[in-house]
């Protein structure tokens, strides 16, 4: 809501390894920006976090963020943890864990860790199923006596979502569960992946932002999926039209994997038995530092395009209120 009121958007980085999480925070720290780190099911289940078990993955992700968020280095960075594409039979139980959270003790202090905001992948759900899942998650929050902040999604890759569809989905979910929805992710002509973003329609963002806010009776931000192909001008137009959260995954992966590829190509000789610099090159720190040097400036570039640089102190202020 801070982003919407101050007309900027927060970058939501799909960070899929501990090093990627650190790099997202590094970029945010450097330009005093808030940042969202988000995880889809593939990240929670993936080797770096859950190693097959998404519940373990979420626990490790949440504790990692909590430790980093309390550290001297990143204390000034507002960090939001968001669940992104979660789908399949595990959806409800995993998101319920995200809402009710887990209790840990850290430095003698008891902490309750939960997701800051929740969304689910509705691409394989009917309207009825999408609404029923949202209702179940709201009920979980009510039963547990905790807050939940939800992002609701329409078929993001299916072209521009009609306003009638927005009423049938967002409007119906809001009237059945008033107050839980903070973000609406309709299709606005972008697509997931690395294809061209030629179909992006900022006007559709504006129409949806106005309608969703009317339906809710409070300001609702638009979450933009499939932002990888968008250039700086398009990102600025998106923010001006009412986008307050920009998901970023494919391009982020491309930059990181490309930098890693280059590192290994450039260091083939050092990675042979007997080379004097073998150990420092072969260590995880070697490739990750090299990737970071390429990746962090690109994240900063995006944060600046979205106008979130310099917003960390006032964002923190809203949390302390």
CB 35 within 8 Å of CB 28? yes
Residues found in the chain: 321
Least distance from Zn ion to the Cβ atom of residue 82, Å: 11
122 by Cβ neighbours in 10 Å (0-12 / 13-18 / 19+) ranks as buried
Give residue for tokens 């963020």. 65
Query: For Zn ion, which is the closer residue by CB, 225 or 267?
Result: 225
Q: Using alpha carbons, select from 142, 219, 206, 138 the residue that is nearest to residue 172.
A: 138
Choices 19-27, 92-100, 219-227, 311-319 (CB under 5 A): range interacting with Zn ion? 219-227
Shorter beta-carbon distance to Zn ion: residue 74 or 200: 200
**Shortest separation between residue 231's beta carbon and Zn ion, angstroms:** 19
Q: How far is the CB of 179 from Zn ion (least distance, A)?
A: 24
Of 209 and 290, nearer to Zn ion (C-beta) is 209
Going by C-alpha positions, the residue among 225, 294, 303 that lies closest to residue 254 is 294
Q: Which of residues 23-62 bind Zn ion (CB under 5 A)?
A: none
Sign of dihedral through CA atoms 39, 16, 79, 4?
negative
> Which CB sits closer to Zn ion, 256 or 267?
256
d(CA 71, CA 172): 42
Residue closer to Zn ion by CB (options 14, 140) is 14
How far apart are CB 85 and Zn ion at their closest, in Å?
6
Cβ of 251: how many Cβ atoms within 10 Å?
16
Task: Compute the distance between CA of residue 206 and CA of residue 305 in angstroms, rounded to an integer.
Answer: 19
- Least spacing, CB of residue 301 vs Zn ion, in Å: 21
Residue at shortest CB range from Zn ion = 225
191 phi/psi in degrees, rounded to 5: -135, 150
Under a CB-based contact definition with an 8 Å cutoff, are residues 197 and 229 in contact?
yes
The least distance separating Zn ion from the CB of residue 226, rounded to whole angstroms, comes to 6
By rule CB under 5 A, what count of residues binds Zn ion?
A: 2
Candidate segments 10-18, 136-144, 246-254, 268-276, binder of Zn ion by CB under 5 A: 246-254
Pick between residue 122 and residue 281 the one whose CB is nearest to Zn ion.
122
What the block records as the tokens of 197 is 């973003």
Q: Least distance (Å) from Zn ion to the CB of residue 112?
A: 28
Query: Residue 311, interface with Zn ion (CB under 5 A)?
Result: no
Selected range binding Zn ion among 134-142, 165-173, 199-207, 225-233, rule: CB under 5 A? 225-233
Residues 261 to 280: which contact Zn ion by CB under 5 A? none
Q: How far is the CB of 213 from Zn ion (least distance, A)?
A: 22
Q: How far is the CB of 303 from Zn ion (least distance, A)?
A: 19
Q: What angle (nearest 5°) sits at the alpha carbon of residue 189, between those of residues 294 and 181?
A: 85
Closest to 21 (Cα-Cα) out of 299, 302, 308: 299
DSSP string, 88-115: STTHHHHHHHHHH-EEEEETTEEEEE--
Judged by CB under 5 A, which stretch of 75-83, 124-132, 245-253, 275-283 contacts Zn ion?
245-253
- Tell which one of 2, 82, 208, 225 touches Zn ion (CB under 5 A): 225
Residues 6+ apart with CB under 8 A from 106: 66, 67, 70
Site string for Zn ion, 173-212 (x = CB under 5 A): ----------------------------------------
Residues in contact with Zn ion by CB under 5 A are 225, 247
């Amino acid at each position: 809501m801070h982003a919407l009121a101050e007309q900027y958007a927060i970058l939501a980085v799909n960070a899929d390894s501990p090093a990627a999480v650190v790099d997202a925070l590094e970029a945010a720290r450097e330009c005093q920006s808030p940042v969202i780190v988000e995880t889809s099911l593939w990240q929670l289940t993936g080797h770096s976090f859950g190693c097959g078990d998404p519940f373990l993955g979420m626990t490790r992700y949440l504790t990692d963020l909590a430790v980093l968020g309390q550290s001297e280095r990143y204390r000034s960075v507002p960090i939001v943890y968001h669940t992104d594409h979660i789908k399949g039979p595990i959806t409800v139980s995993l998101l319920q864990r995200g809402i009710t959270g887990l209790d840990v003790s850290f430095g003698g202090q008891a902490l309750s860790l939960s997701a800051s905001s929740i969304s689910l992948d509705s691409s394989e759900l009917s309207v009825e199923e999408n609404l029923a899942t949202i209702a179940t998650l709201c009920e979980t929050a009510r039963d547990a006596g905790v807050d939940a902040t939800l992002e609701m999604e329409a078929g993001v890759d299916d072209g521009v979502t009609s306003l009638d569809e927005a009423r049938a989905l967002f409007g119906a979910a809001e009237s059945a569960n008033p107050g839980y929805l903070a973000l609406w992710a309709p299709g606005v002509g972008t697509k997931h992946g690395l294809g061209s973003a030629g179909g992006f329609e900022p006007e559709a963002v504006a129409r949806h932002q106005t309608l969703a806010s009317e339906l809710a009776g409070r300001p609702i931000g638009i979450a933009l999926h499939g932002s990888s192909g968008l250039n700086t001008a398009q990102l600025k137009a998106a923010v001006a039209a009412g986008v307050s959260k920009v998901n970023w995954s494919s391009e982020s992966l491309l930059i990181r994997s490309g930098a890693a590829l280059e590192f290994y190509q450039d260091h083939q000789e050092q990675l042979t038995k007997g080379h004097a610099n073998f150990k420092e090159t072969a260590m995880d720190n070697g490739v990750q530092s090299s990737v970071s040097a390429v990746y962090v400036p690109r994240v900063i570039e995006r944060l600046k395009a979205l106008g979130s640089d310099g917003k960390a102190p006032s964002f923190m202020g809203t949390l302390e209120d």
